[in-house]
């Protein structure tokens, strides 16, 4: 059966098991072992079918999956059979933790197996990065467990072991990816590993928040791990990971250097942050990591110096070898020079075999197929028998052909150099051997040519050679530049056979004659051929071709007595080069400038604008508003046609000296140079918006090309990169303003975004430091003005900005995701305060109402966190009301409705906050599990002055009463509003009419005054 068929069946099997896992929760204990067995079976089948060079890494992977499956099975037995509720730690954790070293060992073996060049640099860099990751893991993942007094020693050790194991897997996988990035097997291993890591991290977070339950979305990561690692073994490319390969030396990129620098600075950065935050909490760990990084940096420096010394030694060996090859007079000397080079590089104590085989036409078994350029590793068993015997019993051999691609005649492969040695030794020999063998090929060619010239040193041989070459050879008189001899191929170049005594300058274009004359004259002053230059030849039919010419003065040679001019027709070659250059700097779809050319021209324009007083350079960023709609509805071909039409219309709007570019996708740009002022650039933007606002006809249909434009000018920027950033920011503002708009960059835009980012950072810091507090606004019964409940309202005591209300920071919290942590804190604090009320007022204590955002509600473990907070505080669930927004109902999300129903079943009450400002579908009030509706202040503010508004509120109250829902009117500020709402039958209300938000102590005092009772048991 083909590998592809097996993989399809395997994928279908794993997909079916995954579907069964989520569809039938009762079968979890059965499905997990079957999934693990399937993955292990796939690995065993893959190893048996493909027979990799080294099987142990794959056996380790299979063993790791067995351990993982054993852990899953044990866990399911403990929960489903024994009846333990979320056992932790347990014997299952022993299997899970045992899996990590097995996986790491397998990944390390894959990295090392077959890799012949393994310097310590990569390992040292990995250790540096690992030190930084360990520091971060300690602060954010490990220390919360280690320092948690609620955990036992065993629980702490188990909690710490998981992130450490994940770190080791991450680093081992990263090193493997750096060795080989192109195989499908490696991609599957990477995806599976990421699924494992993501699931582990999410599992850890869920564990920190509450109990764990099987069957959630986190399990998907482990299912991906099972499936992908089994598929990786089934794919034929799995053998590549253990095949011998050479890691070519590469320069460290800027990204790598920056990553290492930031890692070395990480302890100091964390120390600075903690000092600024008011106290150093991880001083010992920071000090230890700093020392480790210093030692590793020192070792890295020593390694660089050692590498430099080795490179210098190799250069000395190559220099000696090059000198020997240059003076070599026969093939034996060339062979000896290469042999001595290998001995010097390996040293006298390293066992190796060396052989040079020349291609004399008799060895079709070795030279029957063209050899690739450069050295390559081959199994010794794949070589012909004579070479196998000479090279000994080694597994691998370095095969480096003596190759001359541009050899004018004859077989380009002159021979081959074969070297057998240990794997590490072959890695050392690779680069020097490639260099030396290329020089040896030139030396051999020189020796062979010398022999050939000596054997054919006569005029007849020379004439035959010249007459049959494709290049044109001319002999030109030194003084008159008239042609004395032309090879037969000259007629195909010049278009005529009448070349005897013809003036060479008359055959070329007038614009080229000066260069031709200079090149011929220059050849008389040097004892070598001149550099190749291009001439334009004009044929009798007035057509023109490009020829490449080289001249050499042989007028002193009596057999020539003239200047030898060698010509080659390069018309097609130059045309191809021009096309390639065009494609390198232009978008192939629209033929507009691409990003590279645009940035180059922008840099030039900014420089000239700085030098020319009174001129302004402008950049327009243009983004099509509805391109995705066209692409999705009419197809990519129509989308491409629209892009071409937009490019044509954009070019027509701009001046000839301006530059239009396509930056990618539906993003265009325009460079406006030497504009008299910013107003002129704004006028161009207006024309662009108007031109693209006109409909386009694409495939017979009218489509929109409407675009938003962001403008930036050199008035506000000092360089090209800043212009691009400002134009991008202005485009963002333009798109936010609506379709078909342009906006120019204003400095205050930058200030607003910086302010927002700063607020986001301060919010994150305050979440850790504890800069928030709650206030409570009473909710009263309108009939008798007694307190029914309190709404919890968060306040931020900012160290420099003062006391901030929710409207000043909640949107930043939503945007950054910190709303989940903040909302969790609010919920816990509100429930804690409500317990104090309950202890004071007993069964008559008021409830507490807490606002919950959509993001917090949909976060993993929200229901569990509510249950845990209520249980920990001992508050009856009916004393808690959760307020949701109408926007949460717009999603028509079955999961949200199910979670709301689950909360109500537990006893928690649900209310819609700010009713009437969002969804406002009264028909949904009987479909959504609710207890109360909170009327927005927009309704109550005008109820006493607008009869229609009063009638609307009356209708809502009646409908809510019919549906069994309570109504809470928000924002009551006057006695008239209070009286009218009470007369309409509205049972509850809140607002400044009754009280402003109160501190926790003031709230408790109000409850004591209201109820005047002692806590009673429930």
208: enclosing H helix or E strand: helix 184-209
Assess contact for 720 and 726: CB atoms under 8 A. no
Q: What is the DSSP string of 826-875?
A: HHHHHHHHHHHHHHHHGGGPPEEEEE--HHHHHSTTHHHHHHHHHHHHT-
Residues 6+ apart with CB under 8 A from 377: 116, 244, 245, 246, 396, 397, 398, 399, 426
Question: 658: left (phi > 0), else alpha (psi -120 to 50), else beta?
Answer: beta
Residues 6+ apart with CB under 8 A from 158: 88, 89, 93, 97
Look at residue 470 in the predicted model and tell me its pLDDT. Answer: 62
Percent of the chain exceeding pLDDT 90 equals 24
C-alpha to C-alpha distances, 288 to 142, 186, 487, nearest whole angstrom: 16, 35, 79
Please tell me the least confidently modeled range out of 28-42, 242-256, 496-510, 904-918.
242-256
Residues 6+ apart with CB under 8 A from 582: none
Nearest CA-CA partner of 972 in 925, 934, 922: 934
Cα 8 → chain centroid: 29
Average pLDDT, the chain: 83
Look at residue 921 in the predicted model and tell me its pLDDT. Answer: 55
Nearest CA-CA partner of 6 in 60, 36, 48, 34: 48
Assess contact for 776 and 792: CB atoms under 8 A. yes
Look at residue 1014 in the predicted model and tell me its pLDDT. Answer: 41
Look at residue 1017 in the predicted model and tell me its pLDDT. Answer: 39
Which of 155-164, 173-182, 330-339, 496-505 shows the highest mean pLDDT? 330-339
Q: How far apart are CA 671 and CA 689, in angstroms?
A: 15
Q: How far apart are CA 919 and CA 453, in angstroms?
A: 94
Look at residue 996 in the predicted model and tell me its pLDDT. Answer: 94
Query: Per-residue confidence at 1013, pLDDT binned at 50, 70, 90?
Result: very low
Q: What is the DSSP string of 907-974?
A: T-EEEEEEETSS---GGGGGTS--SEEEE-HHHHTTTTT-HHHHHHHHHHHHHHHHTT-EEEE----S
701: enclosing H helix or E strand: strand 701-703
List b or e across 960-990, with b for residues whose CB sees 16 or more CB atoms inside 10 angstroms: beeeebbbbbbbbeeeebbebbbebebbbbb
Mean of pLDDT values over 392-401 = 77
Q: Is the pLDDT at 809 greater than 50, yes or no?
A: yes
Please tell me the least confidently modeled range out of 76-85, 290-299, 579-588.
76-85
- CA-based angle 989:994:997, to the nearest 5? 95
Look at residue 887 in the predicted model and tell me its pLDDT. Answer: 66
Write the DSSP symbol of residue 354: E
Q: Where are the beta strands (DSSP E) in 510-615?
A: 533-538, 544-553, 563-569
CA trace torsion 602, 603, 609, 615 (10° rounding) = 10
Please tell me the least confidently modeled range out of 133-137, 431-435, 659-663.
133-137
Query: Per-residue confidence at 368, pLDDT binned at 50, 70, 90?
Result: low
Look at residue 176 in the predicted model and tell me its pLDDT. Answer: 76
Which of 267-281, 468-482, 783-797, 919-933 shows the highest mean pLDDT? 783-797
End-to-end Cα distance, the chain: 70
Q: How far apart are CA 133 and CA 949, in angstroms?
A: 60
DSSP-based three-state secondary structure for 148 = coil
Query: Per-residue confidence at 974, pLDDT binned at 50, 70, 90?
Result: very high
Assess contact for 350 and 422: CB atoms under 8 A. yes
Look at residue 877 in the predicted model and tell me its pLDDT. Answer: 95
Write the DSSP symbol of residue 508: B
Write the DSSP symbol of residue 115: B
Residues 6+ apart with CB under 8 A from 57: 106, 107, 109, 110, 113, 241, 242
Q: How far apart are CA 407 and CA 234, in angstroms?
A: 45
Q: How far apart are CA 415 and CA 756, in angstroms?
A: 68
Nearest CA-CA partner of 774 in 796, 789, 759: 796
Please tell me the least confidently modeled range out of 443-452, 544-553, 750-759, 960-969.
750-759
Query: Per-residue confidence at 592, pLDDT binned at 50, 70, 90?
Result: very high
Helices H / strands E in the chain, number of each: 35, 25
695-699's contacts with Cβ under 8 Å and 24+ in sequence apart are 696/642, 696/645, 696/646, 698/630, 698/634, 698/638, 698/641, 698/642, 698/645, 699/634, 699/637, 699/638, 699/641
Write the DSSP symbol of residue 579: H
- 89 cis-preceded (ω within 30 degrees of 0): yes
Condensed to tens digits (0 to 9), the pLDDT of residues 431-485 reads 888 888 888 888 888 888 877 666 555 455 556 655 656 678 888 888 788 888 8
608-615's contacts with Cβ under 8 Å and 24+ in sequence apart are 608/673, 608/674, 609/673, 609/674, 609/714, 610/714, 612/674, 614/676, 615/673, 615/674, 615/675, 615/676
Please tell me the least confidently modeled range out of 538-542, 628-632, 674-678.
628-632
Please tell me the least confidently modeled range out of 139-153, 635-649, 789-803, 919-933.
139-153
Question: Using only C-alpha atoms, what is the Rg of the chain?
Answer: 40
Please tell me the least confidently modeled range out of 117-131, 317-331, 402-416, 424-438.
117-131
Instruction: Give the number of residues written for the chain.
Output: 1018
Look at residue 220 in the predicted model and tell me its pLDDT. Answer: 87
Mean of pLDDT values over 779-797 = 94
Please tell me the least confidently modeled range out of 83-97, 419-433, 614-628, 914-928.
914-928
Assess contact for 553 and 523: CB atoms under 8 A. yes
Assess contact for 375 and 400: CB atoms under 8 A. yes
Q: How far apart are CA 311 and CA 124, in angstroms?
A: 19
Q: How far apart are CA 96 and CA 76, in angstroms?
A: 13
- Which has more confidence, 144 or 836? 836
Condensed to tens digits (0 to 9), the pLDDT of residues 981-997 reads 999 999 999 999 999 99
Nearest CA-CA partner of 124 in 310, 297, 308, 307: 297
Q: Is the pLDDT at 632 greater than 80, yes or no?
A: no
Q: Which sign, positive or negative, has the C-alpha torsion 549, 550, 554, 555?
A: positive
CB atoms within 10 A of CB 72: 24
Q: How far apart are CA 207 and CA 306, in angstroms?
A: 48
Give helix 331-346 / helix 423-455 axis angle, nearest 10°. Answer: 160
Q: How far apart are CA 50 and CA 554, in angstroms?
A: 64
Q: Is the pLDDT at 9 greater than 50, yes or no?
A: yes
Residues 6+ apart with CB under 8 A from 578: none
Per-residue tokens: 768? 């850790």
* Cross-strand pairs, 560: none
Nearest CA-CA partner of 573 in 620, 537, 534: 534
Mean of pLDDT values over 764-784 = 93
Phi, psi of 516 (to 5 degrees): -65, -45
Assess contact for 850 and 881: CB atoms under 8 A. yes
Nearest CA-CA partner of 208 in 32, 86, 68: 86
Query: Per-residue confidence at 150, pLDDT binned at 50, 70, 90?
Result: low
Percent of the chain exceeding pLDDT 70 equals 87
Look at residue 867 in the predicted model and tell me its pLDDT. Answer: 95
Condensed to tens digits (0 to 9), the pLDDT of residues 856-870 reads 888 888 999 999 999
Mean of pLDDT values over 765-783 = 93
Mean of pLDDT values over 261-284 = 82
Write the DSSP symbol of residue 992: T
Look at residue 647 in the predicted model and tell me its pLDDT. Answer: 95
Look at residue 179 in the predicted model and tell me its pLDDT. Answer: 62
Q: Is 37 exposed, middle or buried (0-12, 13-18, 19+ CB in 10 A)?
A: middle
Q: Where are the beta strands (DSSP E) in 714-856?
A: 742-744, 772-781, 786-798, 802-804, 847-851
Q: Is the pLDDT at 569 greater than 80, yes or no?
A: yes
């Amino acid at each position: 059966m083909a590998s592809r068929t097996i993989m399809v069946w395997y994928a279908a099997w794993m997909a079916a098991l995954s579907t069964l896992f989520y569809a039938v929760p009762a079968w979890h204990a059965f499905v997990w072992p079957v999934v693990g067995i399937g993955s292990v079976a796939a690995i065993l089948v893959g190893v048996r079918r493909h027979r990799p060079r080294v099987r142990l890494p794959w056996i380790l992977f299979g063993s790791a999956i067995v351990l993982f499956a054993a852990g899953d099975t044990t866990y399911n037995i403990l929960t489903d059979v024994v009846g333990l509720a979320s056992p932790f730690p347990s014997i299952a954790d022993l299997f899970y933790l045992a899996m990590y070293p097995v996986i790491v060992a397998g990944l390390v073996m894959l990295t090392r197996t077959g890799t012949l060049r393994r310097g310590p640099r990569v390992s040292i860099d990995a250790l540096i990065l690992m030190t930084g990751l360990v520091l971060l893991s300690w602060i954010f993942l490990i220390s919360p467990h280690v320092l948690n007094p609620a955990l036992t020693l065993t629980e702490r050790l188990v909690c710490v072991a998981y992130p450490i194991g994940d770190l080791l897997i991450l680093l081992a996988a990263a090193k493997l990816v750096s060795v080989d990035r192109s195989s499908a097997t490696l991609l599957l291993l990477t995806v599976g590993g990421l699924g494992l890591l993501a699931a582990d991290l999410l599992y850890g977070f869920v564990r920190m928040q509450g109990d764990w339950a099987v069957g959630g979305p986190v399990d998907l990561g482990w299912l991906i791990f099972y499936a992908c690692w089994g598929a990786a073994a089934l794919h034929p490319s799995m053998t590549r990971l253990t095949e011998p390969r050479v890691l070519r030396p590469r320069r460290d990129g800027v990204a790598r250097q920056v990553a290492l620098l930031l890692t070395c600075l990480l302890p100091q950065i964390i120390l600075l942050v903690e000092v600024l935050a008011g106290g150093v909490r991880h001083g010992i760990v920071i000090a230890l990591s700093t020392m480790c990084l210093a030692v590793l940096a020192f070792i890295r420096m020593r390694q660089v110096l050692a590498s430099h010394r080795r490179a210098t030694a190799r250069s000395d060996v190559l220099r000696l070898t090059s000198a020997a090859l240059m003076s070599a007079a026969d093939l034996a000397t060339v062979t000896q020079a290469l042999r001595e080079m290998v001995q010097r590089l390996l040293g006298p104590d390293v066992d190796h075999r060396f052989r040079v085989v020349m291609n004399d036409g008799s060895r079709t078994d070795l030279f029957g197929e063209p050899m690739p350029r450069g050295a390559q590793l081959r199994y010794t068993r794949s070589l012909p028998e004579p070479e196998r015997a000479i090279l000994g019993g080694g597994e691998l051999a370095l095969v480096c052909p003596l190759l001359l691609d541009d050899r004018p005649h004859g077989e380009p492969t002159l021979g081959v150099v074969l070297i057998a040695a240990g794997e590490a030794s072959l890695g050392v020999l690779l680069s020097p051997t490639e260099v030396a063998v290329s020089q040896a090929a030139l030396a051999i060619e020189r020796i062979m040519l010398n022999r050939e010239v000596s054997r054919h040193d006569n005029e007849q041989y020379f004439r035959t050679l010249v007459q049959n070459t494709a290049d044109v050879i001319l002999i030109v008189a030194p003084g008159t530049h008239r042609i004395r001899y032309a090879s037969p191929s000259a007629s195909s170049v010049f278009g005529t056979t009448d070349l005897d005594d013809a003036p060479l300058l008359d055959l070329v274009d007038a614009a080229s004659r000066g260069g031709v004359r200079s090149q011929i004259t220059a050849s008389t002053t040097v004892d070598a051929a001149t550099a190749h230059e291009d001439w334009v030849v004009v044929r009798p039919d007035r057509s023109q071709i490009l020829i490449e010419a080289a001249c050499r003065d042989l007028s002193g040679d009596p057999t020539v007595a003239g200047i030898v001019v060698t010509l080659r027709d390069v018309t097609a070659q130059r045309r191809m080069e021009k096309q390639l250059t065009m494609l390198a700097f232009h978008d192939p779809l629209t033929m507009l400038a691409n990003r590279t050319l645009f940035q180059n021209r922008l840099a030039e324009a900014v420089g000239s604008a700085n030098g020319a007083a009174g001129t302004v350079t402008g950049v327009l960023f243009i983004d099509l508003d509805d391109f995705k709609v066209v692409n999705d509805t009419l197809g990519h071909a129509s989308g491409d046609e629209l892009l071409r039409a937009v490019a044509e219309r954009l070019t027509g709007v701009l001046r000839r000296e301006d530059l239009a570019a396509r930056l990618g996708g539906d993003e265009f740009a325009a460079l406006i140079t030497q504009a008299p002022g910013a107003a002129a650039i704004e006028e161009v933007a207006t024309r662009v918006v108007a031109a693209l606002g006109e409909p386009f006809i694409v495939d017979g249909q009218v489509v929109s090309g409407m675009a938003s434009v962001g403008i930036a000018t050199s008035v506000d920027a000092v360089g090209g990169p800043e212009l691009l950033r400002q134009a991008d920011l202005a485009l963002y503002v333009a798109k936010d303003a609506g379709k078909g708009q342009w906006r120019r960059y204003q400095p205050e835009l930058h200030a607003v975004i910086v302010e927002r980012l700063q607020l986001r950072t301060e919010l994150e810091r305050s979440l850790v430091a504890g800069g928030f507090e709650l206030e409570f606004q009473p909710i009263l019964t309108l009939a008798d003005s007694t307190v029914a409940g309190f709404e919890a309202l968060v306040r931020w005591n900012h160290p420099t900005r003062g006391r901030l209300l929710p409207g000043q920071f909640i949107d930043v919290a939503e945007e950054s995701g910190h709303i989940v942590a903040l909302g969790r804190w609010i919920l816990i604090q509100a429930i804690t305060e409500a317990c104090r009320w309950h202890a004071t007022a007993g069964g008559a204590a008021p409830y507490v109402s807490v606002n919950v955002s959509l993001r917090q509600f949909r976060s993993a473990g929200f229901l569990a966190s509510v249950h845990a907070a209520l249980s920990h505080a001992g508050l009856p669930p009916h004393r808690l009301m959760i307020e949701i927004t109408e926007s949460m109902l717009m999603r028509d999300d079955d999961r949200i409705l199910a979670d709301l129903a689950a909360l109500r079943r537990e006893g928690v009450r649900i209310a819609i906050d700010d009713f009437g400002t969002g969804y406002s579908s009264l028909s949904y009030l009987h479909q959504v599990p609710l207890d109360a509706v909170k009327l927005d202040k927009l309704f109550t503010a005008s109820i006493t002055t607008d009869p229609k508004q009063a009638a609307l509120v009356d209708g809502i109250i009646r409908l809510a009463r019919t549906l069994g829902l309570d109504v809470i009117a928000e924002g009551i500020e006057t006695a008239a509003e209070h009286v009218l709402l009470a007369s309409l039958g509205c049972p509850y209300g809140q607002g400044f009419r009754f009280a402003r938000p109160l501190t926790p102590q003031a709230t408790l005092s109000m409850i004591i005054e209201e109820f005047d009772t002692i806590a009673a048991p429930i």
